Structure 1
């Protein structure tokens, strides 16, 4: 099938709407893996420099490489050699910057999980478009942003286009967690812990020692340590494990973590 050649979006450095930001992201993240990296990154920086200087730039020139190195030192916050969407949001002046707005609302992974629990009202393990709309409405009120219903619908659709990786019209936990800064994205750190439904059921039964249908904080602690040992994740460390446990417990009902809540984290939609 012949692919249509697409004109790259112009990297003007005036304020962008969320839709323009998304067009730029999708153009430069050519393989759609959620990062601008390698050749994509060089292309992006070349366009950015050309927009800043008003003339074309030579990527083979030593000064270009030096500038790119300096640029990455400033904006590649987690120093992984690539740019993620939240880092791009810091680079481009986006008028309706959901990502920065979201940071004020949800600063840590445990706050994120508490927000997830609040807005996944039907406990389906997904944030559907109507639930996302409620989330964005609260987010904009908290940030003192003015909006009408038409704008709110537009924002909801834009967020879905940004983060709905599998195109099912709703956001799974790992898709929604891409809103978090990388260092706070506990799902990325623990993405090697992925269980099948059978493995999960066996594990839950094993650690729900008193058989009361939920796991408390101590039982979760033992379960996570066991999982890390089995998956040979010694690099996590005690503080990492404590943070992960705290994030998961934010899903709990007064310290009781029921099967469905834990399944969302360890089983369902853990394919980021």
Structure 2
């Protein structure tokens, strides 16, 4: 068993040899506050370790301060959205091509609407979760789309790594908000929805109110009214165009333009199984 001192040691950044699992170790170490970014002191520590690795065992010194020029150069190369922070999908560019299923995901399911459509396809039992067998099917199709070669052993490793990365409660399956962490942060509209996660009782009352005709589903117009009211009540500052984007993403879960109770529940409730 690793000692506390060993646990605090940063993983070595042999970037050319990284596997997906090793990438996870690196990310979890340097994203110490778990906010989905490496920024500030976390980024400085990451670059210090990177420079140390590049110098090799015979390199002079141990840990040196990172120059402003080095930081600027690094950010210019990897900070794609120029927000001064590095998110997982940006850092994943370090992974060798054959290991980089994170960038593969970003390329083929890069928007929240595409993500929700993929969720609907792969949550085959409509449980509100992507379970390990469903996740494996999802990753398999994703790799085929990208024309990436893989074997069963590698597919199992990718599946296990995704679960380790995003299964926050350790139940062996991914809820919608957990799976959405695969998206670039700016596309993850569900992060906004954390402001008004509902209890099952609150959700039932809300759905009944907006299901005006009582047919067990709500349409696009009813969803628009629901989202507008939720944003106002939660004092969430969202523009009309932003709300339209949320609506479009959620409607990707719908069946023929009708959003049923279980489909909206996985977006607005903390735990759809309750």
* TM-score above 0.5, yes or no: yes
2:98/2:148 contact within 8 Å kept: no
Secondary structure of residue in 1 paired with 2:247: helix
Deviates more, 1:71-80 or 1:205-214: 71-80
Distance 2:134 2:125 in 1: 9
Q: Which position in structure 2 is the counterpart of 1:29? A: 31
Summarize the Cα distance change of 1:104–1:92 in structure 2 as closer, same or farther, 3 Å threshold: closer
Of residues 9, 12, 18, the one that matches 2:11 is 9
Correspondences of 1:66-85 after superposition (within 5 Å): 66-85=69-88
Q: Which position in structure 1 is the counterpart of 2:112? A: 109
Distance 2:195 2:82 in 1: 21
Task: Say yes or no: does 1:19 pair with 2:25.
Answer: no
State the Cα RMSD in Å.
2.1
Q: Which position in structure 2 is the counterpart of 1:244? A: 246
Secondary structure of residue in 1 paired with 2:174: strand
Of residues 149, 153, 163, the one that matches 1:150 is 153
Normalising by structure 2, what TM-score? 0.88
Q: Which position in structure 2 is the counterpart of 1:198? A: 201
Q: Which position in structure 2 is the counterpart of 1:268? A: 270
Matched positions, count: 265
Summarize the Cα distance change of 1:107–1:67 in structure 2 as closer, same or farther, 3 Å threshold: same
Of residues 249, 255, 258, the one that matches 1:256 is 258
Summarize the Cα distance change of 1:269–1:136 in structure 2 as closer, same or farther, 3 Å threshold: same
How far off its partner does 1:261 sit? 0.5
Summarize the Cα distance change of 1:135–1:20 in structure 2 as closer, same or farther, 3 Å threshold: same
How far off its partner does 1:185 sit? 1.0
Distance 1:197 1:80 in 2: 36
Q: Which runs of 5+ in 1 are unaligned?
A: none
How far off its partner does 1:121 sit? 0.8
Runs of 4+ in 1 over 6 A off after TM superposition: none
Distance 1:12 1:152 in 2: 22
How far off its partner does 1:37 sit? 3.5
1:17/1:94 contact within 8 Å kept: no
1:18/1:94 contact within 8 Å kept: no
Q: Which position in structure 2 is the counterpart of 1:58? A: 64
Distance 1:79 1:200 in 2: 37
Q: Which position in structure 2 is the counterpart of 1:42? A: 44
Normalising by structure 1, what TM-score? 0.89
2:197/2:268 contact within 8 Å kept: yes
Give per-residue Cα distances to partners, 1:149-185, cap 9 Å, x unaligned. 2222121111111111121111111111111111211
1:13/1:52 contact within 8 Å kept: no
Distance 2:196 2:72 in 1: 34
1:207/1:223 contact within 8 Å kept: yes
Q: Which position in structure 2 is the counterpart of 1:210? A: 213
